[in-house]
Amino acid sequence: MKTYAAVLYEGTFSVGTDKKFVRIDRDDPPAKGALKLSLNPFLIHTEERNYLFDCGIGEFGEDTGPDTILGNLEEHGLNEFDITDIFLSHLHYDHIGGLAHRQNGYWELTFPDAKIWVSKKAWGKVTSKDEFYDEEKTEFIHFLDAKADLHFLGEEEQPYPEITVRQIGGHTEFHQVLLFDDGDKKYMQAGDVIGTKGAVNRKYAAKYDFEPKVSQQQREELTKLAYDEGFTLMCYHEDRHPLFKLTNYDEKTGYSTEKIESHVPA
Residue 116 placed within a domain: yes
CB 193 within 8 A of CB 170: yes
pLDDT digits (tens, 9 = 90+) for 209-235: 999 999 999 999 999 999 999 999 999
Is 131 inside a domain boundary? yes
Taking a C-beta distance cutoff of 8 angstroms, is the pair 50, 86 a contact? Answer: no
Secondary element (H or E) of residue 52: strand 50-53
Partners of 177 in the β-ladder:
166
Residue 198 lies in a domain: no
- For the beta carbon of residue 55, count every other beta carbon within 10 angstroms: 27
What is the tally of structural domains in the chain? Answer: 1
Radius of gyration of the chain (CA): 17
pLDDT of residue 188: 98
The proportion of the chain whose per-residue pLDDT surpasses 70, expressed as a percent, equals 98
In tens, the pLDDT along 181-209 reads 999 999 999 999 999 999 999 999 998 89
Any domain includes 246: no
What's the average model confidence in pLDDT over 54-62? 97
Could you tell me if residue 201 is inside a domain?
no
**For residue 56, is it left (φ>0), alpha (ψ between -120 and 50) or beta?**
left
What CA–CA distances, in Å, run from 183 to 45, 159, 162?
15, 16, 8
- Is it the case that residue 120 has pLDDT exceeding 80? yes
Mean pLDDT in residue range 116-123: 98
> Model confidence over 147-166: pLDDT tens digits?
999 999 999 999 999 999 99
Phi then psi for 18, rounded to 5 degrees?
-80, -5
Domain, as residue range, for 81:
4-188
Please, which pLDDT band fits residue 263 given cuts at 50, 70 and 90?
Answer: confident
CA-to-CA distance for 84 and 67, rounded, in angstroms? Answer: 19
pLDDT score of 97 = 98
Would you place residue 264 in the very low, low, confident or very high pLDDT band (cuts 50, 70, 90)?
Answer: low
The DSSP annotation for 123-185 comes to HHHHHHSS-BSBHHHHHHHHHHHHHSEEEEE-SEEEEETTEEEEE--SSSTT-EEEEEE-SS-
Is the residue at 216 inside a domain? no
Amino acid identity of residue 217, one-letter, is Q
Q: What is the pLDDT of residues 240-253, one digit of tens each?
A: 899 999 999 999 99
**Phi and psi for 21 in degrees, rounded to 5?**
-95, 105
Could you give the CA distance from residue 70 to residue 47 in angstroms, rounded to a whole number?
Answer: 20
Residue 243 lies in a domain: no
CATH assignment of the domain containing 159: 3.60.15.10
pLDDT at 266 > cutoff 60: no
Q: Is residue 234 part of a domain?
A: no
> Under a CB-based contact definition with an 8 Å cutoff, are residues 157 and 177 in contact?
no
Mean pLDDT of the chain: 96
Three-state DSSP state, 12: strand
